[in-house]
Structure 1
Amino acid sequence: LCYIMNVATPTKDCLELTYELLLPVIKARDDRTLTRQERSILLDCEDRINVLLAIVFENYKSLDEHSITGLSELFGPISDCAAPALAPAVQIFSVLHDILSNEAQSILRSYLQAAAAKRCRRHMIETDEFMSSNNDNLLTDDMTISAAYLKMKTLCINISLEIQADIKIHDQNILPRLQIYACSSKSIFVCLDTTQNSPHIFPL
């Protein structure tokens, strides 16, 4: 398990192997058959596994099985299918945490809110740059107003598609029920800061 974590990536095969290797070690720990050194190694592995899980959950719409890093290098179309790596990640998370506990739910919620915030920021980059560069002409130039409207319309459509994708992923029953709605893009909204004329993200 320790060797695997040295080269682990957020991919289905890697996470499934991690899950298979982790189960007997956790059982041995619960049975109090691990030595002090083995317990120390396990703690280190758990820390690295939690880092790997954070990568999976905070990028659950950007996972790519064909990428060396396990993450898509391009900000492509919104997928409404759960990535293959998501299911084994949830299995591992359930081994390390009591999935019904408030603490575990809070951890998972923070991961998925971070994922939604990342996606929103990526969608808003172009709009943010446009509004910053056209601040002086925002209220006086008809072409600027029209262009700003179209960019904001596109942004709203993309955010709507993100929410719809989250709902469809939730309906696949991979993520724990009652979690995804609190953590999806629905918990993120776009607000225009009137003092800076730039969009920001505020989690509910």
Structure 2
Amino acid sequence: MPPVCNFGWRAPGFHLPGVDGRRYRFDDIAGSKGTLVMFICNHCPYVLAVLDRIVRDARELQALGIGVAAISANDALAYPQDSFENMKVMADERGFPFPYLYDEAQGVARAYDAACTPDFFGFDAKGGLQYRGRLDASRKEAGAPDLKRELFEAMRQVAETGHGPREQIPSMGCSIKWKAA
């Protein structure tokens, strides 16, 4: 589980390849009202259980002025399902409305102190962290359709006020698959 939100912590920069053939920096994905950076991967059962909800919420948040991107940092040699080629397939099959970026060297995941997949980082319009919580109360299987949309509601609040909720429940998922030292 990730640590609690460190309000105001500045988003580290990055320059990563996307599955669409472009390279992206944080500023390229930043929205006028805030930015959501998600660490996900292809094989994690926690991610797969809620991937449709992630896509839904991303679309709705983008409409509110929130920029969105997902990053996969897992060791693809140890977990071939998480390879760049397989990332392309997943993004296409699931209709990702956001850039899906590959952190092969894992430096961005380390800079963000990403702990698990999924791990959500919600920033205000100035790049200060306002949300480090969960999507909703789902676990390895999707929860009921009427679960409170914690990530969506938090980021809507950020878009409207510039501040995230004081009470946040950390995300839970599979650990980032780090490369051997």
Q: For the superposition of Structure 1 and Structure 2, which TM-score range results when normalised by the shorter chain?
A: under 0.3
Q: TM-score, normalised by structure 1?
A: 0.22
Q: Considering fraction of residues, name the structure with more helix.
A: 1
TM-score, normalisation: structure 2: 0.23
Which of 1 and 2 has higher RCO (CA within 8 Å, sep 6+)? 2
Q: Which structure has more strand as a fraction of its residues?
A: 2
Structure with larger Rg: 1
